Amino acid sequence: MTTGAAIRLDHVAFSYGEAAMNFDAAIEASAITAVMGPSGSGKSTLLNLIAGFETPQAGRILISGMDVTRLEPAARPVSMVFQENNLFAHLSVEQNVGLGRSPALRLAAEDREAVAGALDRTGLAGKEKRLPRELSGGERQRVALARVLVRDRPVLLLDEPFAALGPALRDDMLDLVQGVHEERKMTVVLVTHRPEDARRVAQRMIFLDNGTVAASGETEFFFEPDGPAAFRRYIGTEQKVALPPEIARKTT
């Protein structure tokens, strides 16, 4: 049983050559925070900085008050799920999940129990011996989630993990994330380009624009008529979603 950790990005500067980004943000412990923003605004970079796959050029990253800025990814209390390619193609479902307990797959009885429990929780019981190519896209993302569950880290980063799935399946997966969050209360940071996903599961939102945090706060606030203007413009112009009439009026 995990609980979440607060995350603080303290004037974190990072650039890939020309694309300069500067993130200053506080992410609440044990909440689900949705990260939205136009393509190229820095959503994946933000998650990669928290996970340690990128290192800031200036500023600090704190998790639970601890400075992790120079820590290797494996030393951080963080797991991450990507849009795809989370699995090793030559390893079975249970081996892929087992990696969450032991990178050398030396699993004790309690590790095997944890793997079986996570496969059960994610609806994969009976598929233990399959290879990733013998699974659907949704099942593969369930395996990635099962691995996160056996790692049991306080912070879970999800970078558009269900974007490649159809609508019904995507909602199922969001429900699964929400259910697991309800049980474990880890801190979840979910990148999504769908406002309805954010509304469905996230208590808080961060809206990125051009490499900075343009707005942050409670999810409901973003969808109010006097919510952040940059976000309203974004969903008004770039997203073809059915909005409640009072919001649609304000965004046009």
Burial class (CB in 10 A: 0-12, 13-18, 19+), 28: middle
Residue 19 touches ligand ADP, criterion: CB under 6 A: yes
To which residue do tokens 């399946």 refer?
169
- What length does the chain have? 252
Residues 53-112 that bind Mg ion (CB under 5 A): none
Residue 141 touches Mg ion, criterion: CB under 5 A: no
C-alpha span between 218 and 33 (Å, rounded): 9
**Which window, 32-40, 70-78, 87-95, 128-136, contacts ligand ADP (CB under 6 A)?**
32-40
Q: Choosing among ligand ADP, Mg ion, none, which partner's interface includes residue 19 (Cβ < 5 to 8 Å by kind)?
A: ligand ADP
Q: Choosing among ligand ADP, Mg ion, none, which partner's interface includes residue 39 (Cβ < 5 to 8 Å by kind)?
A: ligand ADP
C-alpha span between 169 and 46 (Å, rounded): 26
242: CB partners within 8 A, 6+ apart? none
Mark residue 217 as left, alpha or beta (left: phi above 0; alpha: psi -120 to 50; beta: remaining). Answer: left
**How many chain residues are in contact with Mg ion, going by CB under 5 A?**
2
Residues 37-56 that bind ligand ADP (CB under 6 A): 37, 39-45
| φ/ψ (deg, to 5) at 200 | -70, -40
**Which window, 35-43, 93-101, 111-119, 165-173, contacts ligand ADP (CB under 6 A)?**
35-43
Q: Which of 2, 22, 33, 44 binds Mg ion (CB under 5 A)?
A: 44
| Comparison of 53 and 249: residue with beta carbon closer to ligand ADP | 53
Residues interacting with ligand ADP, by CB under 6 A?
16, 19, 37, 39-45
